[in-house]
Amino acid sequence: MEQDKNTDKEIHDFLSMKKVAVIGMSKNSFKAAHYVPKYLSENGYDITPVNPTTDEILDKKCYDHVSEIEGEIDIVDIFRPSDQVLSVIQDAIKKKPKVIWLQEGIHNFEAEELARKEGINVVFNRCMLAEHQRLMK
């Protein structure tokens, strides 16, 4: 799978933004959808879990949809299968985030184009944890 065309400087700038909604965040500590946002939280990010199957993860209130979160969101970090991304991005656009970040292995051209048309930066097939360790440490 290809990777987005963002430069290291752009990724660095995106990673400087601290308010992150995590779509599909997991309670299972063995899953990337848990340990990646936990790492981000431990490294100064304000994480908001979005998972309709639970009320709380890492002592943080869980939301059913990103559009329900109060306040601004800088990055919408998505841990969902590629074929489920379009509806997630359609909802996320309502919050006008600066960046939609699709984790490793996730790519949905139609959804990404929709976000870009709304002026939202898109990162796909990259891990926020790995990029943070590579560029921010």
Give the containing element (helix H, strand E) for 39. Answer: helix 32-42
Indicate the Cα dihedral angle 89, 12, 3, 25, nearest 10°: -40
pTM: 0.96
> Using CA atoms, how far apart are residues 107 and 136, in angstroms rounded to an integer?
24
Domain boundaries, the chain: 8-135
The domain defined by 8-135 folds into Rossmann fold (3.40.50)
At 67-122, the pLDDT tens digits run: 999 999 999 999 999 999 999 999 999 999 999 999 999 999 999 999 999 999 99
In angstroms, the Cα distances linking 42 to 9, 18, 45, 58 are 23, 12, 7, 11
- The rounded mean pLDDT for the chain is 96
Centre a 10 Å sphere on the Cβ of residue 2 and count the other Cβ atoms it contains: 7
At 19-34, the pLDDT tens digits run: 999 999 999 999 999 9
